[in-house]
Amino acid sequence: MAEDGTPRDSREGLDLADARRRDQADPLRGFRDRFAIGPDPVAYLDGNSLGRPPRSTIARLQEVLAQEWAGGLILSWPERWVDLPVVVGDQLAEAVLGSGPGQTLIADSTTVNLFKVLHAACGLRPDRTEIVVDDANFPTDRYVVDSVAAARGLTVRWLWPDPESGVAVGDLVDVLGPRTAAVVLSHVDYRSGYLADLNEITAAVHAAGGVVVWDLCHSAGVVPMSLDSAEVDFAVGCTYKYLNAGPGAPAFLYVAERHVATVEQPITGWFGAADIFAMAEKFEPAPDIRRMLSGTPSVLGIVAVQEGLSLIAEAGLDRIRGKAVDLTEYAIALADERLVPVGARVASPRAAAQRGGHVTIRCADAEAVTAQLVAAGVVPDFRNPDLIRLGLSPLTTSYAEVWTAVDTFAGILAR
């Protein structure tokens, strides 16, 4: 968008000089310098898989290692660490999820958290027999759905959305009903970048008496939302993409306040007990969101999440979303001008309101093309069978990077 807030025509002046002018006018340009960014690669467009490291995270982790671990040793648990999953969970809820405290935890991986909340969701509807999921959902989501359905004797009802868009409320009409226990969907499709209507779909699931579980991996930190206002039941997501918490950083889970006191989860570990240090003979769940914890949390990982969140909160999700829209519009305009004439095509929604933070290009020999891009210093993301994702992380991706990537991409396709 232009500095006055009006939409900019992304098709005008699509040269490198224009890209640099866009970078100079970018209201978020100062944040890029707060990340550890070296000369290589020349264009990193995979922040929707792994974000760049904030400089503050590197400094904070060194501090934790030197002072809290080496200095405090075991005493750092009661003094600082034991409450981190809840404290940082509340920070994530406020900055990213648009939700109140006491409903969010930083813990485990997305897969483990999805396993927990899906069992919990089905437990809220013990008289129902079906779980709904789409065939385009991320593999871990589909695998967990199959696993939970098999364990609980439930039937999986499959949706088959358009592969270049995603699940819309109309796709649910024929599958929702009195047998629907839970519906598991991704807010942003990991392939096409399609942004689902979280509010409308949640309302439709509730109208059928079901419970909804949202995977926010590709929307958390780049798409504003309010899980409380939408009355979402459960949500999970990772922190190493747009939240920039680092490889393998712990994920998050959300349980709506109305469910917290009674919900049951299947991995009952000591950190989810009412009294962690009682070492009781039998498990008694904590009365609050801590009941969703299992084993000992990753302190270093949660600290990294906290540092990434501080940048998100400072920048503000509305400004981040504004740049995400502008970057994706710009990438599509470049693709139309440079890539489509040499055989590629855009496989992401054209309407900004239906698009997350990445743009997907479909082309022949996509895996080989990706390898050539990487060799040339451009890092995108290949997805089977013929998709190349351009991940545009608003706090770190520059317009010049996008121009360079597409210019290199076009040269490879032309050859």
Tell me, yes or no, if the pTM score tops 0.85: yes
φ/ψ of 276, rounded to 5, equals: -60, -40
- At 163 the pLDDT is 82
Tokens of 140: 């871990």
- At 12 the pLDDT is 57
- At 162 the pLDDT is 87
Rounded CA-CA distance 302/308 in Å is 10
Helix (H) or strand (E) holding 23: helix 16-25
Rounded CA-CA distance 87/305 in Å is 11
CATH number for 82-313 (one of 3.30.565.10, 3.40.50.2000, 3.40.640.10, 3.30.300.30): it is 3.40.640.10
Q: What is the pLDDT along the chain (415 residues), one digit of tens a residue?
A: 444 443 444 445 799 999 999 999 999 999 999 999 988 899 999 999 999 999 999 999 999 999 999 999 999 999 999 999 999 999 999 999 999 999 999 999 999 999 999 999 999 999 999 999 999 999 999 999 999 999 999 999 999 998 888 999 999 999 999 999 999 999 999 999 999 999 999 999 999 999 999 999 999 999 999 999 999 999 999 999 999 999 999 999 999 999 999 999 999 999 999 999 999 999 999 999 999 999 999 999 999 999 999 999 999 999 999 999 999 999 999 999 999 999 999 999 999 999 999 999 999 999 999 999 999 999 999 999 999 999 999 999 999 999 999 999 999 999 8
**CB < 8 Å & 24+ apart, contacts of 367-373:** 369/409, 369/412, 369/413, 372/412, 373/405, 373/408, 373/409, 373/412
* Assigned CATH for 16-54+316-414: 3.90.1150.10
Domain with CATH 3.90.1150.10 in the chain: 16-54+316-414
Rounded CA-CA distance 12/25 in Å is 16
CA distances (Å), origin 307, targets 53, 228, 303, 313: 10, 24, 6, 10
- At 8 the pLDDT is 46
Taking a C-beta distance cutoff of 8 angstroms, is the pair 378, 45 a contact?
Answer: yes
- In the block, tokens 């960014």 appear at 37
User: Quick one: the chain helix, strand, coil %, rounded to 5?
Assistant: 45, 15, 40
Rounded CA-CA distance 218/242 in Å is 8
Active site residues: 138, 215, 240-241, 389
End-to-end CA distance of the chain: give it in Å, rounded: 34
Domain with CATH 3.40.640.10 in the chain: 82-313
